[in-house]
């Protein structure tokens, strides 16, 4: 007997699941969006993803950055020594590592798609951010993946991405009916073919560069554990790798 078909998670439910991970990032020059994607096991450090162009200027000039956790309204003010920033300019992806306990994020980071996977063309996705025309509101958008640019590692998406939404999470609902982040909103390319106001395409960068930051936090955690271990302690038992039974 065939299994009953599970109803797809509605987008309003997906929005509510992602919302607690989302932050608004404000700098002296601009504003954008970010979201929690990594933590150390003891939650002493947290990793926030965003678009490189949101924070590259204040990072270069060592200017302060303001981060507001939208769900709670709580805000932190980060001077240059208070954060660690890593930027991949070629892919317009960046991460901000901060101390844990400063903002009321969920215990675990937002799940993200496997490093070696990407969505097929035609899959519906959603994304969130703080558009300049409604900067105090966390807004939801949706569209379908129009193309996968393999060489540049990004999606073209049939939808809009306006000022303030850059750095926001783009997410899909996977085959297990779970929400997963699949990319970072990067830009909107308008259609100027005729000079009229025509629909363009949104650029969503793949999350692949974020795995480097996630691995870095794990390595930091392992290094801290080794420092605490007394000399002569036996090495920890190896943990077998998780088998990925999915396919692209």
Strand 179-191 relative to strand 198-206, pairing: antiparallel
pLDDT, average across residues 37-59:
95
Matching CATH topology for 14-109+209-221 and 111-206? yes
For the stretch 89-98, pLDDT in tens is: 999 999 999 9
Q: Residue 244 has which token pair?
A: 């990925």
**What does the pLDDT read at residue 176?**
93
Which option is the CATH number for 111-206: 3.40.50.620, 2.40.160.20, 2.40.10.10, 3.30.70.60?
2.40.10.10
Report the alpha-carbon distance of residue 98 to residue 48 in Å, rounded.
Answer: 8
For the stretch 190-233, pLDDT in tens is: 666 555 555 678 999 999 999 988 888 888 777 777 776 665 55
Burial code (b: 16+ CB inside 10 Å, e: under 16) for 95-124 equals bbbbeeeebebeeebbebbeeebbbeeebb
- The domain defined by 14-109+209-221 carries CATH number 2.40.10.10: yes
What are the extents of the domains in the chain? 14-109+209-221, 111-206
**What does the pLDDT read at residue 64?**
97
pLDDT over 50 at 237, yes or no: no
pLDDT, average across residues 109-136:
94
pLDDT over 70 at 167, yes or no: yes
CB 168 within 8 A of CB 33: yes
**What does the pLDDT read at residue 94?**
96
Q: Is residue 220 within a helix (H) or strand (E), and if so which, with residue range? A: helix 210-228
Point out which residues pair with 85 in neighbouring strands.
96
* Signed CA dihedral, 167, 23, 178, 216: sign only: positive
Report the alpha-carbon distance of residue 45 to residue 214 in Å, rounded.
Answer: 11
Alpha helices by DSSP H, listed for the chain, are: 11-18, 52-60, 210-228
Single pTM value for the model: 0.85
Report the alpha-carbon distance of residue 152 to residue 189 in Å, rounded.
Answer: 15
Lowest mean pLDDT among 70-84, 96-110, 151-165: 151-165
pLDDT over 90 at 26, yes or no: yes
pLDDT over 50 at 137, yes or no: yes
CB 38 within 8 A of CB 212: no
């Amino acid at each position: 007997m065939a299994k009953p078909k599970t109803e797809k998670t509605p987008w309003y439910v997906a929005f509510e699941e992602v919302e607690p991970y989302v932050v608004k990032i404000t700098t002296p020059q601009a504003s954008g969006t970010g979201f929690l994607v990594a933590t150390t096991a003891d939650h002493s450090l947290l990793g926030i993803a965003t678009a490189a162009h949101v924070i590259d200027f204040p990072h270069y000039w060592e200017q302060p950055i303001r981060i507001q956790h939208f769900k709670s309204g709580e805000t932190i003010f980060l001077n240059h020594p208070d954060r660690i920033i890593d930027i991949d300019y070629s892919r317009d992806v960046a991460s901000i590592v901060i101390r844990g306990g400063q903002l009321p994020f969920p215990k675990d980071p937002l799940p993200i798609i496997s490093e070696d996977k990407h969505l097929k063309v035609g899959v519906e996705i959603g994304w969130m951010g703080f558009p300049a025309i409604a900067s105090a509101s966390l807004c939801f958008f949706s569209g379908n993946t129009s193309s996968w640019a393999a060489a540049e590692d990004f999606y073209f998406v049939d939808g809009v991405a306006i000022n303030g939404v850059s750095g926001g999470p783009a997410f899909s609902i996977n085959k297990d009916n779970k929400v997963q982040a699949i990319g970072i909103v990067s830009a909107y390319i308008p259609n100027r073919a005729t000079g009229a106001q025509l629909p363009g395409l949104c650029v969503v960068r793949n999350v692949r560069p974020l795995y480097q930051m996630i691995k870095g936090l794990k390595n930091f955690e392992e290094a801290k554990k080794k420092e605490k271990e007394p000399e002569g302690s036996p090495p920890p038992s190896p943990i077998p790798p998780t088998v990925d039974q999915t396919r692209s």
